Structure 1
C-alpha cells in the first residue's frame, strides 16, 4: 500500500527541509509556511527571470525507495534532505503521467506537473550525489531524472506520515513527465 513516510517544510531558502509532524497543503499555493508556496514561481533562480509564471513546483515529492538505492551506493540521504515536502513509499512516482492526481490522507489532492530537475547544489550536500540522481537510458539515449516529482495542490488538507496515498490517473492518452 502506498503511504506518506515523512513530511517536510522550511520557511527560508535552504537545500534541506526539516521533517514535521504534519504539513497543511493549501489549494493553489502549496505547503503552508514553505518558502516555495505561492501562485507564481518561488524557485530562487527562476524568480530572477520568470517571476510571473505559474508555480508548477508547489509541492516536491520523492520516493523513499531512492534513498534505499543511494544507500546501496554509499550515500546517506534521509527524508527532507533533498528539499522535498513529501516522502513516499510504495508508489512509482516517476512512472506517473502528467496530470495524475495523488490523494494524500483524508482530504489533500496534488496534481502531478512534472519531474524535478536536479541541480548542482546536490553535490554541495554530498559530493558525487548529482550523478546518482539521474542516468542515461541505454535504449532511448535520454536522461532519466530520479530526484522526484513536482505538483500543484488542487484540494487542501493536512498530510502526515502514515497517510495512505491513492493515485487517480487522468483520462488517456497519458503524457510522460517532463522537467518543470
Structure 2
C-alpha cells in the first residue's frame, strides 16, 4: 500500500495534544474546521505574540507515523495526536518533500506544504527528553527537525483514516523545507 492517512486529530482549545477523530474537514485558506489553529492569520501563541497579522502558514500539521516507532526505540510512547498534529501519515517521507508540494488527502482535500514544524519545549513537558529525539543535528552540524511538516489548505474536503495520499511535486528547482 502507498501513502495513506493513519489518523486525523483536532482540538478547538489550546492544548498540546489533539484527540483523534473519525474525520476532519479541511477548509480552503483556513485549516481544520473547529481547530484552534485554523485561520487566515497566525494562531499559534508564539506567533500571535510576535505579529498577529502574519499569514498562517501552519494551518495543518502533518506528522509521519514512522516517527513514533523511531522514538519508541528510545523508550518513548507517542501515538497519533500526541504531538498536536492534525494528520498522521504512513508510507510517505514527509521531511524530504520540497516547499510547494501538493498533498491530495482522500478524494477532495489538497494541502500545500509550507515548511517544517519547529519543535518547542512543550514536547519535553509532554515527555521529558522527547525533544532531543525529534530535533538534533546531522554530520555537518545542521539542525534536523523531525516533528512533522506544516501546510495550508488549497482545496477543502473531508479527510479520514485510510484515505490515500497522492503527492504532486512542484515544477522547477525544488526548495528544501525550512521551519515555518
Tell me which interval the TM-score lies in, with the shorter structure as reference length. over 0.9
In the TM superposition, residue 141 of structure 1 has moved relative to its aligned partner by 1.7
Residues 78-133 of structure 1, C-alpha deviation per residue, up to 9 Å, x if partnerless?
00000000000001100000000000000000000000000001000000000000
Partner of 1:135: 136
Residues 36-93 of structure 1, C-alpha deviation per residue, up to 9 Å, x if partnerless?
0000000012101210000000000000000000111100000000000000000110
Please tell me whether residue 56 in structure 1 is matched to residue 67 in structure 2.
no
What secondary structure sits across from 1:109 in the alignment? strand
In the TM superposition, residue 135 of structure 1 has moved relative to its aligned partner by 1.6
What secondary structure sits across from 1:106 in the alignment? coil
Partner of 2:67: 66
What secondary structure sits across from 1:69 in the alignment? helix
Distance 2:172 2:61 in 1: 24
Distance 2:78 2:112 in 1: 26
Q: Which residues of structure 2 form unaligned runs of 5+?
A: none
1:133-172 aligned within 5 A = 133-138=134-139, 140-172=140-172
Distance 2:174 2:50 in 1: 31
Partner of 2:28: 27
Distance 2:136 2:124 in 1: 15
Distance 2:162 2:12 in 1: 23
**53-62 vs 140-149, greater mean Cα deviation:** 140-149
In the TM superposition, residue 134 of structure 1 has moved relative to its aligned partner by 1.2
Distance 2:97 2:50 in 1: 29
Distance 1:38 1:148 in 2: 20
Distance 2:5 2:117 in 1: 18
The two structures, once aligned, show a CA RMSD in angstroms of 0.5
Partner of 2:99: 98
Partner of 2:43: 42
What secondary structure sits across from 1:114 in the alignment? strand
**41-50 vs 156-165, greater mean Cα deviation:** 41-50
